[in-house]
Structure 1
């Protein structure tokens, strides 16, 4: 049976999770990946870099350069570099929440700020840099970059 200290610690952790959770509050949601909301109150991306490529196959011809045959869309990728200031908004768990989504190993629907559905996407990778540390070791600036790839 847990003691009073463990019970109180558990309640405090639950309250912090609710307060610091991925809730955009009254800030507009810039992008939503599954249940994760990118907004000023959570993790805001600085820019959205999208790279789309298209497949063209060679059709060999005698005595001439190969002709090209359009095969269709090939790869579609998005990179979202951003920053979190945990003392200001969002808390320090935003990047960890993204990692939990990535570790689930499933595609998520990507929705833009206007409600447009961009399709299903998977998280290929997350990079993180923590800086401006306080005396207790906690960071005050967290830069991140999320790499997404379109799923089918």
Structure 2
């Protein structure tokens, strides 16, 4: 039985669909945890701070975490948990799922193909191959009316 469902969120429409599907399939007594992973190289190359002084790196990181946390809270429902991690997304998702003892990972996928897939890879594909938990891959599709009711309000 599903007791803990981890939903990685990158704030894309595919992520919103994964949240909706997880909520729809989630038993009433289960815990849903929304996880956003910040990429450290994005923090280092923040376009609003082209020359981040190492003395201010901690402040930049904290501001990015707070901004992401606010967005994540806007997606979450009252009883859902929210968490921010920093690192390589697929690895952090897998580590978090193991540590938190998730029963399933439900995540969106944009179904990249060709050069885009080769250049960027896919966190979902990596997790399907390496995660210790089942991975529910949700495409950016039209949801039925019942599932649309579970979409995050901030979408």
TM over 0.5: no
Q: TM-score w.r.t. structure 2 length? A: 0.26
Higher strand share: 1
Q: TM-score w.r.t. structure 1 length? A: 0.26
Structure with larger RCO (C-alpha < 8 A, sep 6+): 2
Higher helix share: 2
Larger gyration radius, structure 1 or structure 2: 1
